[in-house]
Amino acid sequence: MSKFPDRQNAIDFASDILALFNIETGEALGLVNFINSLTSGDYSKDELKKRARHTIASKYGDAIELTFE
């Protein structure tokens, strides 16, 4: 017995789940690329903070508040 009232609702739900999975996969790949880019240079703590702020701000804008110690 299905938890969905009809076939189209089940298909829509599966499509939404796949879209979320694709977004999360892209986020993880972006993080890996950012970390890999750090090995290509000798960065100070302040430079790393600046790069992290830029990367996150360009991706999320004002949707996230950054606090670094």
Domain ranges of the chain: 1-38, 42-69
Token match 């017995």: residue? 1
Contact (Cβ atoms closer than 8 angstroms) between residue 64 and residue 56: yes
Predicted confidence at residue 53, as pLDDT, reads 78
> What is the radius of gyration, based on Cα positions, of the chain?
19
Query: Residue 69's pLDDT is what?
Result: 52
**CA distances in angstroms from 43 to 9, 35, 40, 47, 64, listed in the order given:** 50, 12, 9, 6, 24
Alpha-carbon gap, residue 15 to 21, rounded angstroms: 10
Looking at residue 12, its pLDDT comes to: 93
Q: What is the pLDDT of residues 2-59, one digit of tens each?
A: 789 999 999 999 999 999 888 888 888 877 877 777 777 777 878 877 877 777 777 7
In this prediction, residue 68 carries a pLDDT of: 58
